[in-house]
Amino acid sequence: MDVSERGQEPSGKALATSPGALAGLRVIDLTRVLGGPYCTMILADHGAEVIKLEPPQGDEVRDWGPPFLDHDDGTRDASYFIGVNRNKQSVGLDIGTPDGRDVLLRLLAGADVLVENFKPGSLEKWGIGYEQTLAARFPRLIHCRVSGFGAEGPLGGLPGYDAILQAMTGLMSINGDPTTGPLRLGTPVVDLATGLYAAIGILMALHERGSSGRGQFVDMTLHDCGMALLHPQAANYLLNGRRPVATGNPHPNLAPYEKFRTATCEIFLAAGNDGQFRRLCAELGLAELGTDPRFASNADRLANRADLAARFATALAAEDGHALALRLLRAGLPAGPVLAVDEALAAPHTAARAMLTELGAYRGLGTPIKLSRTPGGTRTPPPRFAEHSEAVLARNGFTAEDIAALRRAGVLPDARRR
């Protein structure tokens, strides 16, 4: 049951306490893996009804472990799936069959949004492409496709994966330092960014539909979203024509803006303007650096970055980094300890901001979107495969006989096919 329903006494952390800003929005989710599911979880966190139609094999990231959450019936789901699929309903459906596609079309009749990440051209082969069929049949439908490269262009129709797009869009080339060579970012930033941009695009299309009454196609690609993350390196290159290089922790445009070791931990310090730099020097007992002509402007500091970093390193070596970072923050200066993931999850401010959520055995990251009147949050844990097939179809006009026939035909699997 949805924990945000009236009269319900939720027990957990960072649970939804309102129907949500997107209550009443129905989303048919044909996505798998990460970018698409991350997008639809954002919508679900804020009240959209998200019906996740899984192929007979299920979303493959249910197997991307360990770690796994083991269920009483002997099935299990990997953390990778659990992390991006809360607040959804799962229906097992084989849309590769004519009967399965008929079920999809019946569900779309009551939907606002379709999100899918099939290879471009797949829906067209089945006779249900957007321009081919869906736009005329469902004129108010927002159809969002997430793909690697889109349908057109030299790479149109080819598959895309996060690390491959990190490599191809230049993101790897600016990560790491001169000794490491290009490095993949540890988080799947292209997939996650594509999910975020897709959610934004869907909400834009919904807003426009309010005035026009018409749906539209939202074409999201990992390639485009990866390119969109190249700031400030792309802006630098487009202005000066020099190929950006990996600088490691130091910022390519600012100094100081890097990591330093203290007696207790590493900390990151930053100064965004000259006044901030002088105040930082004073707080660190280095007031003389604030009047040194070698460091007078940011351009000067970039030119003399090595000398500046050496002075800072000496001054910070004996400090308690945690205490120093907090003191600098309270003085209005950017600073923070370099925390491991477990330390960041356990930090008091993480709890204060409701960035950890729990419901039963489910634990995950909370929603970062904080709305005052219509807050989102966890309503239901990530679904088991096909957990809601019968309930969803019954709500959408399928009789018990219809459902039984679909099961007999193998269109509506109750267990994952291996």
- Which residues have a catalytic role annotated? 191
N-term to C-term CA, the chain: 30
The answer to whether 280 touches 256, Cβ cutoff 8 Å, is yes
How would you write the chain as a 3-class SS string? CCCCCCCCCCCCECECCCCCCCCCCEEEEECCCCHHHHHHHHHHHCCCEEEEEECCCCCHHHHCCCCEEECCCCCEEEHHHHCCCCCEEEEECCCCCHHHHHHHHHHHCCCCEEEECCCCCHHHHCCCCHHHHHHHHCCCCEEEEEECCCCCCCCCCCCCCHHHHHHHCCCHHHCCCCCCCCCCCCCCHHHHHHHHHHHHHHHHHHHHHHHHCCCCEEEEEHHHHHHHCCCCHHHHHHHHCCCCCCCCCCCCCCCCEEEEECCCCEEEEECCCHHHHHHHHHHCCCHHHHHCHHHCCHHHHHHCHHHHHHHHHHHHCCCCHHHHHHHHHHCCCCEEECCCHHHHHHCHHHHHCCCEEEECCEEEECCCCCCCCCCCCECCCCCCCCCCHHHHHHHCCCCHHHHHHHHHCCCCCCCCCC
Neighbours of 95 (CB within 10 A): 23
Cα distance between residue 294 and residue 297, in whole Å: 8
The tokens of 229 are what? 């993350």
- List the beta bridge partners of residue 32: none
Strands 142-147 and 68-70: unpaired
Distances (CA, A) of 348 to 342, 344, 351: 12, 9, 5
| Amino acid at site 85 | N
Total residues found in the chain within this entry: 418
Neighbours of 36 (CB within 10 A): 28
